[in-house]
Amino acid sequence: MNVDQIQLSTNAITEYLNGKACTKAILQITNLKLINNAQGDTNDSSCYRLTISDGITTYSSCILNTTLNKLVDSGELKENTIICIKEIMIDFLEDQTNRTMLIINDIDILQSNAEKINYLSRNVEANQSSHNQAILHTINTFPTTTNKSIPVGRSSLSNIRESVTKNQSITDSIESETHISISQINQYSNKWYIKGIVTNKTSIHHYNNARGEGTVFSFDFLDDTDEIRVTVFNNDCNRFYSTINTGTTYHIAKAIVKPVNRQYNKLSSNYEIYVTQDTIINYCSTDTLLHAPTIRYNFVQLCDVQNQRTNSVIDVIGIVDVVLDPAVVTNNIDQKSYIKRTIHMIDETGSIPVTLWQDQATNFNDDNNSVLAFEGIKVHDYNGCRSLSTTPTTYLKYNPIDTERTEKLKQWFKHYSKNPTKHINSSIIETCVQQSYNIPHSIIIIFSYLF
C-alpha cells in the first residue's frame, strides 16, 4: 500500500487524551526508544517508549505492551511504521508531570517501510498541564455530568507494566461460570459469563425521578454474535467507571438480565444487563475472542429521518457543513444549565440539524468537513420539522474507519463541495439557526436528554 493512499486517523490522539479509547485508529510511529529496567527491577522485561502521530498531533508518553516487543525485535515495528491501533489502555500518572500515559496492547502493522507523512502536526506534550486543567474545568462546569474517563495511573515504570498485565487472566470466580455468547443471554440464564469488546461508553449521568436520585452510566458490549447494553448505578459507578474503556475486551459475570426497553435502547439484543454489587468485570486479551467483532451500524439516510417515529433512536452518518457556537440553556424547573451546540449534517440524499449536549457540545471539533457517525441518536419533531438530538447514550465517531460509508461520503463531497448550494437546503439551515435559540424547543429536548 502506497503511503499516499493511507490516511491517518486525525484527532485520534486528542480522543485518547480525553479518555476515549477508540476501537481502531491509524497512526504513525515517529520515534521508538528502548527503556531499560530500573536498578533492582530485574524481573520486569524492558519495554519501548513510542512517539505516535495522527497527522495533527504527536505524542511521546506512549508505552508498547511488552508482549509486542517481538515486533520490534523482528524489524516489523520501527520508526515511521504505520499501524492500526486495535487495543489501547489509558493511564493518568500521579506524579509531578500529571501526564496521560497511553499503553498500546494490540496493533496491526499496515506498512513497515513507510516514509514520514508530512502533515502539519503539533506536539501536545508541553500542553499536558493546561489540558488536565481544562478537563477539570469542564467537569466543574457541568453540574449534571461527571467525567472520570481517565483512570488513575501509577508513577513508576514497573507499576505501569503491572497495570498492563494485572488482569490478563480470568479469575477463579469467573472460571466457575459457564461461558455463553451474548446472543444466548436471557432472563433464565444461570451461572454464566460473557466476553466481548466495549464499543461505547457514556459519561456518568445524574438523575432524579420518582424512584429517587443517583448516578448511572452504561456501555455497549459486543461479541461476534450480538450486542447488548450494560447499565451501572450509584456505588457501582465508582467501582467500574474508570476501569471500563472503549475498545477494550472484558469478561462479565454475575449480573442481572432484564428485557430491553426499546424506548431507550436500539441495540439488537432483546435483553439488557444490570450490574450489581456481586458483578465481576475483568480485563481480558483480544486473543480470547474467537472472531474479532465489528460494530454493527444500521444507518438511516438523512432523507428518511422524516419517516422515522418521533423519539425513536437511530444511527446516522453524514458530512458536517454548518457548526454553530455553543449556547447555554436553563431548565426553568430545576434551574440547571445545559450546554448545547447545533450543527448541520448532509449526505447524498438530504440534510438535517443536529443538537449536541454537554461534553459533546463543548468538545466538538469539526476538522474540515468531517464525516460524523452517530450511533443511538434521537429523532425529534418541532412544528413538523424533524431534527436529531444526542442523549447520554449516543456514541459520536469522527471519520470512522469501520464502515465503507465514510469513504463514499468523502468522495461524494469532493464532487459537490465546489457548489454547496446544490446540496444545502437554505430553509433547513435557517430552521437550524432558529432552533438553536428557540428556548421552548430547547427545553423539550432537555427533558428528552435527561429522561
Phi, psi dihedral angles at 286 (to 5 degrees): -60, -25
Q: pLDDT > 70: what percent of the chain? A: 69
Residue 66 in this model has a pLDDT that exceeds 90: no
Residue 248: band (very low, low, confident or very high) from pLDDT cuts 50, 70, 90: confident
Mean pLDDT of 298-308: 93
Residue 444 in this model has a pLDDT that exceeds 60: no
Residue 391 in this model has a pLDDT that exceeds 60: yes
Residue 440: band (very low, low, confident or very high) from pLDDT cuts 50, 70, 90: very low
Residue type, position 162, single letter = E
Q: What are the pLDDT digits (tens) for 21-47?
A: 655 789 999 999 887 654 444 444 578
3-state secondary structure of 276: coil
Residue 5 in this model has a pLDDT that exceeds 80: no
Mean pLDDT of 256-269: 86
CA 130 to chain centre: 22
Spatial separation of the C-alpha atoms in residues 16 and 10, rounded to whole Å: 12
Residue 402: band (very low, low, confident or very high) from pLDDT cuts 50, 70, 90: confident
CA angle 439, 443, 446 (to 5 degrees): 135
| Whole-number Cα distances in Å, 255 to 208, 225, 239, 243, 300 | 24, 19, 14, 17, 33
Q: What is the pLDDT of residue 94?
A: 52
Mean pLDDT of 130-142: 36
Mean pLDDT of 242-249: 84
Residue 167 in this model has a pLDDT that exceeds 50: no
Residue 340 β-bridge partners: 327, 357
HEC secondary structure over 183-243: HHCCCCCCCEEEEEEEEEECCEEEEEECCEEEEEEEEEEECCCCEEEEEEECHHHHHHHHH
3-state secondary structure of 23: coil
CB 185 within 8 A of CB 269: yes
Domains (range + CATH), the chain: 3-131+148-163 (2.40.50.140), 167-288 (2.40.50.140), 302-450 (2.40.50.140)
Spatial separation of the C-alpha atoms in residues 50 and 59, rounded to whole Å: 8
Q: What is the pLDDT of residue 176?
A: 66
Q: What are the pLDDT digits (tens) for 306-350?
A: 999 898 889 999 999 889 988 988 877 767 788 899 999 999 999
Residue 253 in this model has a pLDDT that exceeds 50: yes
Spatial separation of the C-alpha atoms in residues 125 and 120, rounded to whole Å: 16
Q: What is the pLDDT of residue 175?
A: 62
Between 345 and 211, name the one with better pLDDT. 345
Residue 286: band (very low, low, confident or very high) from pLDDT cuts 50, 70, 90: low
Between 62 and 419, name the one with better pLDDT. 62
Spatial separation of the C-alpha atoms in residues 268 and 296, rounded to whole Å: 9
Q: What is the mean pLDDT of the chain?
A: 76
Spatial separation of the C-alpha atoms in residues 394 and 269, rounded to whole Å: 17
- Please state which of the ranges 78-82, 117-121, 398-402 shows the lowest mean pLDDT: 117-121
Residue 436: band (very low, low, confident or very high) from pLDDT cuts 50, 70, 90: very low
Residue 157 in this model has a pLDDT that exceeds 60: no
Residue 149: band (very low, low, confident or very high) from pLDDT cuts 50, 70, 90: very low
Q: pLDDT > 90: what percent of the chain? A: 29
Residue 59: band (very low, low, confident or very high) from pLDDT cuts 50, 70, 90: confident
pTM: 0.50
Residue 390 in this model has a pLDDT that exceeds 70: yes
